[in-house]
Every structure is written in structure tokens, then in C-alpha cells.
Chains A and B, each alone.
Chain A
Amino acid sequence: MTTPDENPITRTSPQRMVKGILIVAITLAFGAAIIIPFWQTMIHNAPAAETKKLGPPETETGTQTSIGNIEVVKPQAKSNANVSAGAAPSGPATTSPAPAGTTNATAGPAGKPLTILAGASVQGSPNFDPDTITVKKGDKITVTNKDTLPHTVTSGTGPSDPNTAKQFDTSIIEAGATADIETTKLNPGQYPFHCTVHPYMTGKLVVQAGPSGPATTNATAAPSAATTNATAAPSAATTNATAAPSAATTNATAAPATSGAATTSPAPAATTNATAASRTGTTNATAGPAGKPLTILAGASVQGSPNFDPDTITVKKGDKITVTNKDTLPHTVTSGTGPTDPNNAKQFDTSIIEAGATADIETTKLNPGQYPFFCTVHPYMTGKLVVQ
């Protein structure tokens, strides 16, 4: 092709400019017509980390979480300790996940609670609550996985420990499920444990000599549920004995469901029950006369934001302080100036307070004086307690 150099120069005309702009404008308008009706759908925010599931796997292969699921099949089949959440949608007994605490989760003598917190899989986040769990020899520990991912509680300091899983091992606990650890065979002493899936999740179990002490309420519940292998959501342990009968029937129907569908994954209902139960447990802690309020404000986790309200709380010796966590993340109120303070948590420590939950601080044992406190999760959140 030769170039038209002898041709007169053709300059852009207004008409062609208008046409060109119209083409651009119509294209953009077309795009806008696509996006504007769907704007709210597209722009809606992702669900909070606690509630987002990796997707409900319905078949054994092919779906999103099938890898995680296949691993789970085995422990569910052979571990009698591990009640899969598949038991949940079974009987009429489960129809009310009301916060009354009488849900089917209380079947069987519940052990001391050990919670795997939501978000525990993220390195650096709080993982086990409490980090160090102290039990009497013979006590049962009930592990509740509140995270959205599978975890384990396995004895040993980590994958490189040659004695890993020698003392105890829950094997995989699916999201929302629970598992039990028996301490009858453990000698008194300290047992570090970790999660084999996320080895940076570590904790410690302290077994003390002597028979089980505080399991009085459990004793009444035990006979009725003795025939089941089912375990309970941990913090519901303090609920009354009315829970037991209904729980027993539930578990009767639940058992075949569990064995029949070995691949069943945690159904949402089960998660709800577990949550409801634990919420009850936490609020039970504040039952009785409410103390002086100390609020952890929403947004407190962001460094520089206001965190504790009031920053300096003044109480008379013996007063109770009720801490309410209005933030969306777990926090603690722990005495001391920060994580590097050798005396931190010596005076008082609420341990993890889940979002929306409350906890109490007793001041009966505190001498009058000033006690700085902080949040172990976010050490920049500080405050001061003045006891008069």
C-alpha cells in the first residue's frame, strides 16, 4: 500500500468528533447499565470471617473443600469421641436453638472447655482459649472448634517433636465440631499441645493430681446420657439437668445419621447450636448482680482508636467489674502494663472475651491501689483500674 502523500490533509471534523465521543459515551453507558442494577450485589461486603464457610461440600469429590473433607472422614468413622455436626438436624429436640442453653449439645458429661477460637488458623491470632488449661487428673476436656477450618489438639511441642500425639490426640476436629480429651491416663504434669494442621497454634495442658472437683452438675446429667458417645459443647456444662433427657433422645436419632453419612460435613445448624451454647456459657459468667461496667468499644482493635471505656475505672474493693466486649474481635482485660511485664495477669485476667460477650473481674482479693491493664491480643489497648 502506498501512502497518500499527494492527497490533501484530512482534518478531524466536528461531526466525526461527535461520533467518536458518542461511541465512547454509549460504550460507557452500556457498562453502567450492566453494573448499576447489580451495584448492591456487587458492592456488598464479604461476610465476617467467623461466618464465612469454605462452602458446603455435598459430595465426596470435586467440590471446593473436598480435600479437607476426605481427611475428615477417617477420624469421624473411628473416633468415638468425635461427634460430627451431622447429628444436628435430627430430632424435634433441636428445633429451638434458643439461648436457653438446653440444646442437645449438653448430652453427656461435658468436660472442661477448651475453645479453638474463630480465626485461629491465621498465624499470630489468638488460637486456644485458654492457652494454658489446668485440670485435675481424670477430668475430661471438651474441645470446641469455633473456627471455620479443621484443627487438632495434639500433645507435643510441634510436628518435629518425636513424642507427638503420644499422650493425647483428638485427630481432626471439623469446624464447629467438638472432641474430648481424657486425662485419666495422664500423669500429673505439664503437656504442651499444638494443632497438627497449623503447628504455630500451641497451648499447654496442666494435669493436677486428685479427683475431679467441679463436675457436680455433670454428675446428674451423666446417667441419662451415658449410653451415647456424644460429647457436648463445652461451656454449656453449667446448664441444669433438664437438658439431659431431651439430649438423650436426640442422640439416639443422631447416632445412625452420623454413622450412615460418614462424609457429612458440619451443617450450619450444628454451628448455631454450638455458638448458642457457648454464648450462654459466657453470659452465665456474668449471672448474678452485674458489676461496674467496663466497655471495650467497637473498633478498639485498631491501634490509636479509643479502646476501654472508661480508660481509668475506679471501684471499691470487693466490687465486681463487668467487662462487655462491643468490638467484633476477641479481647482480654489483663493486669499489667503489657506483654513484656513479668507480672502481667498476676492480679486479674479475663482471658479471651469473644465479640459481644461479657466477663467479670473480682476485686475482692485486690489490695487498694492502681492496677494498669491491657489486652493481650492488642497490647496497645491499655487502661487502669483503681481500687479504693
Chain B
Amino acid sequence: MVLEVKQPRPMWEILFSTHHTDIGLLYMITSITALMIGGALALALRAELFLPGLQLFSDPTSFNRFFTVHGTTMLFLWAIPFAAGVGNYLIPIMVRYKDMAWPKLNAVAFWMIPVGAALVWLGFSDTGWTAYPPYSIIRAGGPAAEMWIFGLKILGISSILGSINFIVTILKCRHPDLSIMKISLFAWSILSISFMTIVAVPTFAASLIMLYTDRLGISGFFNPAMGGDPIAYQHLFWFTFHPEVYIFLLPAVGMLYEIIPKFSRKPLFSYQSGVAAFVLLALISFASWAHHMFATGMSFTEKTVFMVGTLAAVPASAMHVFNWIATMWGGRIRFRAPMLFGVGGIMLFFASGAGGVVNTALPLDFITHDSYWVVGHFHLILMGTVSLTFTGFIYYLFPLITGRMYNEKAAQIHFVLAFVGVIFVFMTQHLLGLHGMPRRIADYDGTIPYWTIMNQIATVGAWIAGLSFIIMLVNLIKSAGSGKEADMKDPFEIGEEYYDYARREPHH
């Protein structure tokens, strides 16, 4: 591999290395594996919903287990590790340091992920990825739920350790000539999410312990039978996981700042507004958690505060979108695969953002709450924006990692299929929600013709998207082994600079 420190090394040396590129590679391989497993689970869920009645699953609880593991996998084993992997690869290059600040801590943070993944996958919990009590504490089957709790605990610690490493690397190990306002916007996005992780995740870590002791029956924090309050869990949970939504999103935003100017072949429109929007989003993300809970009977004042807090994220997000559009405007755009995915991601970011404004408007929230609208909305942002941009960035980093080029035509087919598939699935799910279909059901009323037809459209869309990712996998594997050798200065032949691993001028 092109970044190998000492060449060529045996595989085990890469596997147990503490070098940031090796760990970044491990992060990315793990997360792409998780993407494939989570995707397979999603296809099983969609296949079950193709027809009313139970076909694939013997009972609804098995369905619950599948969507729980699907959600947990996609969020904690795909989105977060992939961002950490790209960060590992690029942050030391971007701040021109020899490695991450603490290479061994970095390796520890990575190796916690397979452990957490094993706990989540071997357990197959059925609590839903939110694990709301009282179900999760008095009824959910063990040991699956315990394994899920410990898996999430380990993944949380891993992301905190990774975040500490990123913050110290960016703030303290930067090259002396490089001011903080000169590092790339991707580094800014990683810096923002690292701070957010450190503030947000401990809350969830604490509530996981409370959940566990509640399950043991030695405490009753969330157990109404023992005077506890299940709603308290929801507050703790969303205090972590609303910021977490932005932790999923911001790396994708940072990647778009890498892709858009390069492929538009035009300088970035405004660096400062990008930095300002990152900082704003990081702060505002903590002011909106309870909008997930409007239906739990909060006072009107609380609801209004959180509605306004949520809407405050719109201008900051719009600053990013404006920045990208203004960068593309008048540029000489080359639609290579990363750019296609980037532009597709921006389009769907707008669509999902518009849906989010509907969600946060109090009267509309009550109509859409716990319906398929919500499923469509958050999948549109996580799949449509985050995952498509991440996928674009896989293609973008491919030459840097392997020294070879992927098959451009297959990648473009992948984009078209994935984009169409995503729209089929998730736009249809918005409509399904408006027609009243509740989320998290294994079976639905077959006498409502809308529901059956739209579920079938969504399932076909999911199959299209699934096929497109199989094309990607084949493309990546085949091209990594025997693809065209890339020109490391300008692999995309667009006349723009590419990452130069050798130009780091280490100062330590």
C-alpha cells in the first residue's frame, strides 16, 4: 500500500500497527464490513415488509432484533468509525504531524470497536437502538440486552478516546507554521465532532449503567414500578444522541468541503463561514434534544424552547449548503464519482433538512411522531447525505490508500442506482408516514392499498440500493488488487492537488 512505512510489510504488522494510516485503514475496513452487514439486515427488514403478514420472520420480536442491530450497526459501527478512520488517515497529514498525538491510545480506541461489535452482533438485542425503558429494563430478553448495553458502553469509550486524540493532535501537534484558521475544513469538522463527543457521550454512558442496574433490579431509575421515570431516560438518551446526529453529519460536511472545491476546480467560496457554521452547529446541537420527545407530555414552554433551538440549526446548515453551491457556481465541474456522490448528498441534505423543519414544528410533529415519516426523515439524512458522501469519499481516498484507481464507470453506475434507490425507499417512507403507517412494525394492514403499494416501492428501492453497494464492493476489491495504477499527484486527472503524504515536513 502506498502509505506503508516500511515496505512491503507482512499483514500482521499492519493489523497490530499503531501508525495512523494503518489504524485508519483498519477503521475503514471495519466500518465498510459493518455497512455491508447492516445493509443486509436492512434488506431483510424491507423484504419482510414487501407483503403484509409475516413471511421471513417467525415473529415480530425477531423483526425487532433485526432493526435494533441494523440501527446500532449503521450508527455506531459504520458512521462513527468511518469518520474516525478518514480522520486518522487525513488529520496528521492536514496538520503536518508524523502521527496522531497518542498512537497507542489510537490503537486502543480502534480495537475496542471489534469488541463492541461482537457484543452487539452476537447478542441481537430487541430493544430498538434507543433501548427505551420500561421495555428494556423489565421485559427485554437477556443476555442480548446486557450484551447490547456493554457493547454500546465500549463503543462510547472508544469514541471518547478517539476524540481526545483528535483534539490534542489538531490543537497541540499542528505544525508551528500552520494557524488554526489555516487547517482544512475537514479538520475543523473533526475538531467540532470531537468536542461534541466529549461533552455528549458521557451522559449516555451514565444512563447505560443506570439501565443495567435497573435490569438487575437493584435500582429503579427508570422503572415506574419502583418510582422511577422512563422519560428521564429519554432526556439522558437524547441529550447524547441529538448532538450525535450532528456527529454523524459533520464529518460528511467536512468531506464535502474536500470534494466540492477540488472537483469544481475553483477555490472554496468562504472558509470563515464554514468554520463559523461548524462552531455554531456544534453549540446549537445541544439545544434541541427534546424535540425527539414532544409527544411525551412536556409543557408548552419546554416544547417552544426546543422547537426554536432546533430551528436555530437551520441557518448554520444553510451556511454550509450556500458555501457549497457558491463554490460550484461558475466552476469547471468534473463529475467524477466522488463529486456525483457529493452533489447527490447535498440534494438529499436539502430534502431531509426540509423534512426536519416539518418535524420540529410542534403541530406537525404530533402527526408525524413515531410514523414512517420519521424513519424516512432520519434515513434520508443518514443514508442520503451521510452515507452517500462517505461513499463518495471512499472513492476519493481510494487512490491514496491503494495507489490504484477504481473503475470509474462502475462507480458512476453505483451512484445512479444508490441515488435512485435512496429516493425510492425514503421519499416513499415519508408518504407512508403521512398515510399513518407506524414505525417498527413487522406486519401491516393489507387492506389499505396505499400501504402495500408504497411498501413495495420502498422494498424495490432498497434492493436497488443494496445492489449498488454490491457493485461498489466488487469494484473496490477488484480495483485494489488489479486496478489501473493511479498518478499519485493527480489521480482524478482534474488538474488539482491531491493529498501528498510526503509533504508533511515533520517538526518533531
Contact = CB atoms under 8 A, between A and B. Distances in A.
Interface of A: 1-5, 7, 9-14, 16-21, 23-24, 27-28, 31, 34-35, 42-46, 49, 52, 54-55, 64-65, 67-68, 121-123, 149, 197-198, 304-305
Contacts of B7: 4, 7, 10
Given A9-B488, A10-B8, A122 B224 contact: yes
5 contacts: A11-B403, A35-B122, A45-B61, A64-B216, A67-B218
Contacts of B217: 54-55, 64-65, 67-68
Contacts of A7: 7
Given A12-B401, A13-B481, A149-B225, 18 more contacts: A1-B5, A4-B502, A7-B7, A9-B403, A10-B7, A17-B477, A17-B480, A20-B29, A28-B33, A31-B122, A35-B122, A45-B59, A45-B61, A45-B141, A49-B139, A68-B217, A197-B225, A198-B225
Contacts of A11: 1-2, 402-404, 485
Contacts of B118: 31
Nearest to A14: B481
Contacts of A13: 481
Nearest to B123: A42
B98 interface: yes
B221 interface: no
Contacts of B59: 45
B490 interface: no
The binding surface of chain A is classed by DSSP as loop
B140 interface: yes
B111 interface: no
A12 B1 contact: yes
Nearest to A2: B506
Contacts of A52: 138-139
Nearest to B19: A1
Nearest to B399: A11
A54 B139 CA distance: 10
By CB atoms of chain A within 10 A, which of B11, B123, B140 has the most? B11
Contacts of A49: 138-139
Contacts of A197: 225
A14 B482 contact: yes
By CB atoms of chain B within 10 A, which of A11, A17, A27, A67 has the most? A11
A239 B492 CA distance: 88
Contacts of B65: 43
10 closest A-B pairs by CB:
A5-B502, A11-B403, A14-B481, A46-B141, A17-B481, A121-B225, A64-B217, A12-B402, A45-B61, A10-B7
Nearest to A62: B218
Contacts of A46: 61, 126, 139-141
B305 to A, nearest CB: 26
A43 B121 CA distance: 12
A25 B29 CA distance: 12
A49 B481 CA distance: 54
B4 interface: yes
B501 interface: yes
B504 interface: yes
Interface string B79-120: 000000000000000000010000000000000001000100
Contact of A18 (B126, B481, B501, B504): B481
Nearest to A24: B33
Interface in B115-148: 118, 121-124, 126, 134, 138-141, 143-144
A12 B140 CA distance: 46
Nearest to A41: B143
Given A35-B121, A64-B216, A43 B11 contact: no
A197 B226 CA distance: 8
Nearest to B404: A11
B15 interface: yes
B501 A3 contact: yes
A152 to B, nearest CB: 13
A5 B59 CA distance: 59
Interface string B402-415: 11100000000000
A18 B478 CA distance: 10
Interface in B201-237: 216-218, 224-225
Contacts of B477: 17, 21
B443 to A, nearest CB: 9
Nearest to B122: A35
B218 A44 contact: no
Nearest to A303: B438
Contacts of B225: 121-122, 149, 197-198
By CB atoms of chain A within 10 A, which of B4, B401, B485 has the most? B4
A49 B134 CA distance: 12
Contact of B403 (A12, A44, A149, A305): A12
A35 B117 CA distance: 13
A56 B81 CA distance: 42
Contacts of A19: 11
By CB atoms of chain B within 10 A, which of A27, A31, A46, A122 has the most? A46
A202 B136 CA distance: 26
B358 to A, nearest CB: 24
A5 B4 CA distance: 11
Contacts of A21: 477
B62 interface: yes
A42 B122 contact: yes
Contacts of A123: 224
Contacts of B61: 45-46
A85 B285 CA distance: 54
A24 B29 contact: yes
Nearest to A15: B481
B34 to A, nearest CB: 11
